Structure 1
Amino acid sequence: MLVFRCTQKLQKRLKVRAPINLPKSSAQLGDWYGNTLFVGRLRLVIFISETTMLPVVVTLRESKTLVPRFQKALCQLLEALQMPKSIVLQEMDIDSGWAFGPTASRRVVGVLNELAYQAEAELYSGRCGNPLDLALRLSGVPIGGLEHIVPCDAARMLLAPTAPKRAIWQACNLTA
């Protein structure tokens, strides 16, 4: 099961009633914490993995298509980070369903808010042309709660420790 832990702001926007007690996600990346991100006319949702703080950014549209769009964005991100195809497919497998719940960790919400500020700055700078570019840039931001490890490296160490390491700006064809 894949669990999305949404802020109250996102729950209201998606019009979902979130049960308080939910099981943990069965995926290795754990539960996904989400919040809205409004920058100018852009309406986005930023999700981060509870275990690695890896960010995934999707456009905010109707709630019916949020999970498939999240799956597609996660797949694109993991492929851009050169994760093995088997790992990507394993993380995409949510045959056991998915659920929305309230946030359960202030630490993760704090990181989510910090990445939202970073995302806002990136979007205003004009360096990110799409949600994938933004997610790749944010995955290179050092997170203090992870002993100053960047989320893309934390995800690589968790999912595919033998995968080749590659600089984040090379992965998304961006300059430092």
Structure 2
Amino acid sequence: MLIVRATKKLLDRVGGPDLGEDEESTTVLGQWYATALFWKPQVALLVNESTLLPVLMPLAPAATLLDRIPDQIATVLAAHGVAEPVIGDEVRRMTDGVRVGKTANRSVVGIMNEFSHLAEVHRARTPAPDLLGMAMRLAATPCGPLYRRHVRPDRELHAFLNPWQGDGRHRRTP
């Protein structure tokens, strides 16, 4: 099951929260945070809680946004060079259902706000922004919460999906 923690402005577009108190994500990457960027056309920004990996995608039609998220995450993971079996497994875990809840981690919301501002700067420089290319640029941004680990979301993603840590201890199997 995929859990999306949405800001109020996105919840107003896709409907209220339906996340149960005891429900947990079954995906390897865990929960995603999301907000709406009121550009023309409107865009949804998602940030992974574990790796801070950003994903940008068209918001419209808002009624189908939650159904489209797994495919867009898969596209971004593929662009980052994640192995196809890992992507396939992650998408399968997401298709067990998508639940929406309110944001709960202020640090991730802060990073999402920073990415929103940076995306606006990138957008101002490009007449027709490429959302995938912009997400890739944002993923190379140093993030304070990652300074003691891998500094940037793109590096954190690869380290997180690596089943072995540098000291030989088993970390997790994707």
Provide the TM-score with structure 2 as the length reference.
0.84
* Residue aligned with 1:42, SS: coil
Q: Which amino acid aligns with 1:14?
A: V
Do 1:44 and 1:57's aligned partners in 2 also have CA atoms closer than 8 Å? yes
Displacement of 1:22 in angstroms is 5.0
2:65 maps to: 66
Q: Percent identity?
A: 30
* Residue aligned with 2:46, SS: strand
* Residue aligned with 1:4, SS: strand
Q: Which moved more, 1:14-23 or 1:98-107?
A: 14-23
Displacement of 1:134 in angstroms is 1.2
Q: Which amino acid aligns with 1:117?
A: H
Do 1:143 and 1:151's aligned partners in 2 also have CA atoms closer than 8 Å? yes
2:169 maps to: none
Displacement of 1:34 in angstroms is 0.4
What do the CA deviations read for 1:2-58 (whole angstroms, capped 9, x no partner)? 10000011101222344462522111211110011123x231010000000001111
Do 1:36 and 1:45's aligned partners in 2 also have CA atoms closer than 8 Å? yes
- Return the alpha-carbon distance in structure 1 between the equivalents of residues 108 and 22 of structure 2: 17
What do the CA deviations read for 1:45-103 (whole angstroms, capped 9, x no partner)? 10000000001111111333213322221111111111110111111112421100000
- Return the alpha-carbon distance in structure 2 between the equivalents of residues 137 and 73 of structure 1: 16
Displacement of 1:139 in angstroms is 0.7
Across the aligned residues of Structure 1 and Structure 2, the Cα RMSD in angstroms comes to 1.9
Do 2:2 and 2:95's aligned partners in 1 also have CA atoms closer than 8 Å? no
Distance 1:72 1:128, change over 3 A: farther
Q: Which amino acid aligns with 1:75?
A: A
Provide the TM-score with structure 1 as the length reference.
0.84
1:78 maps to: 77
- Return the alpha-carbon distance in structure 1 between the equivalents of residues 87 and 74 of structure 2: 6
- Report 1:1-176 matches (<5 A): 1-19=1-19, 21=21, 23-39=23-39, 41-93=40-92, 94-126=94-126, 129-147=129-147, 149-160=151-162
Number of residue-to-residue matches in the alignment:
161
Q: Which amino acid aligns with 1:13?
A: R
* Residue aligned with 1:141, SS: coil
Distance 1:107 1:26, change over 3 A: same
**Which segments of 5 or more consecutive residues in structure 1 lack a partner in the other structure?**
163-176
